[in-house]
Structure 1
Amino acid sequence: MNDIILSTQNGEPVASSREVAKRFGKEHKNVMQAVANLVAENSAAKSMFHPATFENRGKKYPMYLMNRDGFALLAMGFTGKEAVTWKLKYIEAFNQMEKQLAAQRKDQQAVQDENIQRAIDQVIAARKRLDEQTAFLDKRREARDKSKALYLRVKALCSQTKAGYSEDCDIVRTMETVVRSSQDFLNSAVDQLTIVAKGYPAYLALMNDILSDAIEKKE
């Protein structure tokens, strides 16, 4: 496998026509022509070969990058004992590279899932806090309105009644500010969840459930 040089293209391992020509003892121009013939003969082969370039002494020259299927299609016409040896080496190299890429994708998926779950938890917490503070604000508004009604009914106000109404007004004003801040925090949390969950429909659906009135609030 150490003899084989692979790279990645569109998330899959690919071999260069230049390296393939070198390993199988072919002229690169002949390998390029063979690839061109395959692509011309069958449109399905186009997705297996990607035009690219390489640099030599400051100049750029054309080459192809081919995936596993492209290599198999091309190498099918290579014969001889050495050809079989290199075919086996390339097959092993593709197998190892695909395993590595699969492991990397799995790790990346795990990190992405963790980030999304963290963002979801933040939205749930922000929604819960907003609901609690809104409920408290509603209660204080009700208390303020009762104090105001008493203030208007009683002509000769005692200092205690007036002080209670003033205190309720102060609490309502404070809680209105707190609720606005909590709403801004919830909006920010939703924005963050939208960013990290982009491309993950299941998580976006969960976000919609979180923000709906039917959500069961997290204990």
Structure 2
Amino acid sequence: MTDIILSTQNGEPVASSRDVAKRFGKRHDHVIRDIEELIKGFPKNGDTPMFFKTEYTHPQNHQKYPMYLMNRDGFSMLAMGFTGKEAVQWKLKYIEAFNAMEKQLAQQHRDQREVQDVNIQNAIDRVIGARKALDKKTAFLDECRKAREENKAVYLQAKSLCGIAKATYSKDCSTVRAMETAVRMAQDNLTHAVDDLTIVAKGYPFYAALMDSLLDELAPAKKED
């Protein structure tokens, strides 16, 4: 299996026509000819996911030449016509190599999904935390505004206590302004948290449903901005 060189294309293992030609003792131009004959037989001539046309640079003259990459199905179609004892051995080695890489890619995909799941949950937690902080600050701002209006009425009515009432009202105004700034900052934090979640969860199978659900819940908070 260590003799086989595979790479990846579109998330699946692929073999190169150059490597296949080398392993099976064939001329590369003949292998390309065979591949192109196969492609001609497919629907939509030349358009198939089994083979991917590319090129390579020759190490000696540094010129570019055509080459094909093929997935497991493409290799199977091509190698079907290869005969001989050594051909059978190389077919088995390629099958083993494809199996091993597919298993490796599947594990990498599971690992990536686990990391993504953790990142998404952390991003959701940040959104929830930002929403709670916004709600708490908004509620306190409402209380401050209510106190300011009550003390404003006292200030306007109590002429004899004008100095004290004015000082209290002035302090309330300062508190309200500070809390309005705090609420705007909390709203910005919430917006950034939602944006981060959007980036992290992009491509997740339930991405659309997840974002719709969260945004529906966050809508009332956003309206207070």
Partner of 1:63: 67
Cα distance in 1, alignment partners of residues 217 and 195 from structure 2: 19
Task: Pick the aligned partner of 2:50 from 39, 48, 51.
Answer: 48
Partner of 1:126: 130
Cα distance in 1, alignment partners of residues 16 and 81 from structure 2: 17
C-alpha distance after superposition, 1:119-159 (max 9, x if no partner): 11111111110000000000110011011112222232254
The range that moved more, 44-53 or 200-209, is: 200-209
Alignment of 1:1-219 (within 5 A): 1-43=1-43, 46-56=48-58, 57=60, 58-157=62-161, 159-200=163-204, 202-213=206-217
Contact conserved, 2:16 with 2:70, CA < 8 A, in 1? yes
Percent identity reads: 63
Contact conserved, 2:5 with 2:15, CA < 8 A, in 1? yes
Please report the RMSD computed on the Cα atoms of aligned residues, expressed in angstroms: 1.9
Contact conserved, 2:158 with 2:165, CA < 8 A, in 1? no
Q: CA deviation at 1:12?
A: 0.6
Q: CA deviation at 1:87?
A: 0.6
Q: CA 1:184/1:49 → structure 2, altered by over 3 Å: closer, same or farther? A: same
Q: CA 1:94/1:115 → structure 2, altered by over 3 Å: closer, same or farther? A: same
The runs of at least 4 aligned residues of structure 1 exceeding 6 Å deviation read none
Aligned to 2:48, the other structure's residue is in SS state: helix
Q: CA 1:212/1:46 → structure 2, altered by over 3 Å: closer, same or farther? A: closer
Aligned to 1:47, the other structure's residue is in SS state: coil
Aligned length: 215
| Unaligned stretches of 5+ residues in structure 2 | 220-225
| Unaligned stretches of 5+ residues in structure 1 | none
Contact conserved, 2:131 with 2:218, CA < 8 A, in 1? no
Contact conserved, 2:51 with 2:68, CA < 8 A, in 1? yes
TM-score of the superposition, structure 1-length normalised? Answer: 0.91
Q: CA deviation at 1:212?
A: 2.9
The range that moved more, 99-108 or 158-167, is: 158-167
Contact conserved, 1:116 with 1:203, CA < 8 A, in 2? no
Q: CA 1:35/1:183 → structure 2, altered by over 3 Å: closer, same or farther? A: same
